[in-house]
Structures are given as structure tokens and as C-alpha cells.
Amino acid sequence: MTSLPDWLQGADGAVMPDAPLAPYVWFRVGGAAQWLFMPKTPEDLAQVLRTKPADVPLTVLGVGSNVLVRDGGIRGLVVRLGSGFNGIAVGDDHTLRAGAAVPDAMVAKTAAKAGIAGLEFFCGIPGTVGGACVMNAGCYGAETCDVFVEAEALTPDGQTVRLSPEDMGFSYRRSQAASRGLIFVAATFKGRADTPANIQARMDEISARRAESQPIREKTGGSTFKNPDGHKSWQLIDQAGWRGRGVGGAKFSDLHANFLINTGTATAADLEATGEQARRQVKDQTGVELHWEIKRLGEPMPVSHTVSS
């Protein structure tokens, strides 16, 4: 049993040593966190960050929709944002401010009710506001950067900063700000006026398209690989023969070949090996290199694999 260090004792929020992380990620696999901290408020988190030794690794976990935690678990401090980061409020001039733990779908729903158009695409992203800021999440031709106004974040040493679109440095499925180790606390988005009925109709269309083309009821992690320039990852994986195929209890979805699935018995190693073997085959056959969109966290455990058909 890992003991709590002095800098975590008395922290305001839930603190758990050796905490299994599988229940917190959509794949439902992975090892334990050395220390899992669920702060009640941004102030609680800032206080822990100010006292945490610099050599202790820090990992932030949102809703776990686009994350693969390796079987060896995550060393150091894992922060999972909870109810204290779930606030959402409609502002003036078609703006909306949401806490980092607010589901993207809730952003879309709240905006629709308020007659704020332009945020509909968030209903098709299975993540949170914090994750959307980290990776410039998007779908169906729209991205977070299109509606982003400002974000509030904490630095690794617990200082509060505000970031403009220029500060974020958005590009395809990433933001430069995230590489600085910032922990997003909240973000403000701006849309345009429209009727709630029109907005809801567009959201219904997005949801229907997603249900038809993605395995939304499976244990998955969203898009596995980013789309390379001039290519679609699912097509490359399909052409390489990996649709419906995988390693151990993992496979690529029969419905969408860029979605990894835990069929029920997969380990994190099975899922990662499936992705890596498909990447190598795509590179060998086409010369195109696929880059992971899923965030792989923690340390692996040695496992032997056999390919399933």
C-alpha cells in the first residue's frame, strides 16, 4: 500500500493511493494511479500543485473518453476533475463559459436552449471541455478553435493564467498551450444567434450520423489515429485488412475501422498492440505514418500477444 506523502495529507478533496483507473476510462482497462486526487474546487487543486514536489509526475484525467491507461498504471499524481469543475453559464453576446469537467455534449445542449448556434458540433465529441482545449477537439468540419474565446488554467506550480486564442496555439488535434503542462479549469466559447429549434435539428443530424457510423455503445476511446494529410485513417486501416481484426480481446471496430474496441477481455496491452501492428502495416504498405490521437498514459507491463481474426 502506497502511503500518502506529507504534501497530500490534508488536501481538500478525495485522495486515494494505489487507485485503479480502469473505472474512470471508457476502455475500462489499465492499472492504478500511485495517488489519485479529486479536488473539489480549482483552489483545492492550486494548493496541491503549489506544494507538490517538482519531481513528482503529474497527469490530468478528464472523462477518460480518449485515453488509454497502460496496465502498469501511472506513477505520481493523477488529478481527476469532478463536480467542482462542472459549472456552466450563458453570458452576453452569445457566449458560454463552462468548467473543464463539463461534457462537450452538455455545452452543445446548453447553447441550443439559449439560442447560441455554432457549438452544435460539441454534441458529437465524447469528451470534456478540458480535453477539447488540450487537443482542439472537433468533428464534422468544426473544431474547438472555431468558437474559442478564452481559457482559464493552472500552471504546474499552481498559478492561474488566462489564455487567448493566440496563447493556445491551436492546430489539428492539439494546442501548444497543453504542451506547457497547463491544467485547464474553464473555457469560454462564442457562437451566434439562431432559434433553439434550428440548432436542435442540426444537433439531431450530427447525433444520427454519429450513431450510424461509430460504435458509440462499445468500450472504445474515440478516433484512434489522426487523419494524415490527404488521407483518412479509417480507409488506410481498412485497406490494410484490420477492420474487425485485433490482438487478444481488442479489435478495430467492424463499423468504423479507426475505432479500437475492448470486446470485454482486452488489456491495455492488447489495445496498444492492435494499434501499433496496424500502424506498422499501413506504413509498410503505403508509406503513410499514422499518429495516435488517443492519449496513451502510464507504464506498460510485458505481455505476449497473438493476432485474432
Q: How would you write the pLDDT of the chain (309 residues) with one tens digit per residue?
A: 678 899 998 888 899 999 999 999 999 999 999 999 999 999 999 999 999 999 999 999 988 999 999 999 999 999 999 888 999 999 999 999 999 999 999 999 999 999 999 999 999 998 999 999 999 999 989 999 999 999 999 999 999 999 999 999 999 999 999 888 899 999 999 999 999 999 999 999 999 999 998 988 899 998 999 999 999 999 999 999 999 999 999 999 999 999 999 999 999 999 999 999 999 999 999 999 999 999 999 999 865 555 555
Q: Rounded CA gap, 207 and 300, in Å?
A: 35
- Is-contact 104 122, C-beta < 8 A? yes
CA-only gyration radius of the chain, Å: 20
Decide the pairing of beta strands 160-163 and 148-154.
antiparallel
- C-alpha of 197 from chain center: 29
Q: Rounded CA gap, 219 and 30, in Å?
A: 13
- Is-contact 161 155, C-beta < 8 A? yes
What does the DSSP 8-state code read for residue 4? P
Annotated active-site positions, please?
Answer: 173, 223, 293
With b for 16 or more beta-carbon neighbours within 10 A and e for fewer, the 204-215 pattern comes to eebbeebeeebb
What the block records as the C-alpha cell of 26 is 471508457
Q: Is 17 helix (H, G, I), strand (E, B) or coil?
A: strand
User: 193: Cβ–Cβ under 8 A, 6 or more apart, which residues?
Assistant: 94, 115, 116, 117
**Beta-carbon neighbour count of residue 188 at 10 Å?**
18
Q: Rounded CA gap, 221 and 260, in Å?
A: 7
**CATH class name, domain 85-211:** alpha beta
User: How much is the pLDDT for 300?
Assistant: 93
User: 229: Cβ–Cβ under 8 A, 6 or more apart, which residues?
Assistant: none
Nearest to 146 by CA among 163, 170, 126, 129: 170
Residue with C-alpha cell 467542482? 84
Nearest to 84 by CA among 186, 188, 187: 186
How far is residue 155 from each of residues 8, 11, 46, 189, measured CA to CA in Å? 18, 18, 9, 21
Was domain 217-308 assigned CATH 3.90.78.10? yes
Nearest to 7 by CA among 58, 55, 51, 56: 51
Q: What angle do CA 135, 222, 229 make, to 5 degrees?
A: 60
What is the maximum span of the chain, computed from C-alpha positions, in angstroms?
Answer: 57
Q: In the beta sheet, which residues pair with residue 118?
A: none
**13-83 adopts what CATH topology?**
3.30.43
Domain ranges for the chain: 13-83, 85-211, 217-308
Phi, psi of 303 (to 5 degrees): -140, 140
pTM for the whole structure: 0.90
